[in-house]
Amino acid sequence: MSSLSVSAAGFHLEVGWRRRALAFVTAIALGVAGWQVATWISDGWIPGVGEILDATGEALVAADTWDQILITSKRILIAFVGSTLIGVAIGMAAGLNRKAEAFFRPLIVIALATPDPLYVIIAILVLGTEESSGIIALTLALVPFVVTIVHSSVKARESQLDEMSAVYRLGRRRYLSRVLARQVTPALFAAARTSFAFAWKIVVLVEAISQPRGIGSEIYEQFRLLNAAEMIALALIFIVLMRLVDAVVFGGLERRLMAWTR
């Protein structure tokens, strides 16, 4: 059986890994080629791929780079944990209780409609320019997304099981842990993963604007100095690292989760 064949059952994607690797390589090759064309058109203003690779190499071995990454990672972690906890609490409450839902509705709608920079601005105005205001801004910006996912999943639960729980007088604790948890766990996981994904993207903005140290502010610094290659290098390292963390941590957890729910 050639790895290029698609299974006759139709819907399962196993297009062979060789094909996917080839597609990946092609995508990179086209991207690099396109970028070089851009470099050439811009007369070197846009740094060439070679330049970028050099800068990346240098950045990778510079201790400062990793200091910055560490700082940023701490912020991401705090915001991620905080927003997930707060978001799950609110989302659950809103999903289970109609009054809570009505209460939070306008807040969430407004929060979703507020652009990210505003969170930073407001945090700075209220809390001053300390370290914590950036983290708080980030956390608050993430909460609405978590709430949304959790809320919709809790609302989508089987109401028949609610009735069953009431009839058999299972009580709050048993209901939450035995009946609701199973149904809602995938969404909780998705919410956490989403929170992390947004966290590392928005933290760049937070750091670029409010500029205590961190990868985001470094990237902005390099930009201001017009060191495009260095800026891109840092961005590349950061993005690849974050995606790796996501794939390893959340990907791994997901596999465990799937196994557990079977």
Partner 1 sequence: MTDARIAATAGSLERTGRRWWSGSAAASDRLFSALGLLSFVALWWLGSVTSDFVPPIGEVLDAVPSFLTEEDIYGDITDSLTRVVGSLAIAVLLGFWAAYLMARRGFWGLVVARYVDLAIGLPSTIAALLALFIFKRSEVGVFVVVTIACFPFVAITLRQGFLSLDRRLTEMGGVYRLGAVAQIRNVSIPHLVPYTLASVRNEYAHAWRVVVIAELFAVNSGIGWRFTQAYDRFLLVDVSLWLLVFISILLGTEYLILRPLERWVLRWREGKL
Q: Which of residues 54-73 bind partner 1 (CB under 8 A)?
A: none
Among 82, 194, 210, 214, binds partner 1 (CB under 8 A): 194
181 binds partner 1 (CB under 8 A): no
Identity of the residue, 170 or 221, whose beta carbon is nearer to partner 1 in the bound complex: 221
CA 88 to chain centre: 16
185 binds partner 1 (CB under 8 A): no
104 binds partner 1 (CB under 8 A): yes
Taking residue 133's Cβ as centre, other Cβ atoms within 10 Å add up to 22
20 binds partner 1 (CB under 8 A): yes
**CB contact set of 138 (below 8 Å; sequence gap of 6+):** 75, 76, 79, 83, 119, 199, 202, 203, 206
CB neighbour class for 83 (10 Å; exposed up to 12, middle 13-18, buried from 19):
buried
DSSP code, position 124? H
Among 3, 7, 42, 132, binds partner 1 (CB under 8 A): 42
218 binds partner 1 (CB under 8 A): no
Which amino acid does the sequence have at 235?
A: A
- Say if residues 234 and 243 touch (Cβ distance below 8 Å): no
Candidates 25-33, 68-76, 159-167, 170-178; binding stretch for partner 1 (CB under 8 A) = 25-33
DSSP code, position 213? S
Identity of the residue, 70 or 239, whose beta carbon is nearer to partner 1 in the bound complex: 239
Among 82, 165, 220, 237, binds partner 1 (CB under 8 A): 220
15 binds partner 1 (CB under 8 A): yes
Identity of the residue, 110 or 164, whose beta carbon is nearer to partner 1 in the bound complex: 110
184 binds partner 1 (CB under 8 A): no
Which is nearest to 87 in space by CA: 68, 64, 62, 112? 112
Residue 80 beta carbon to partner 1: minimum distance, rounded to whole angstroms: 14
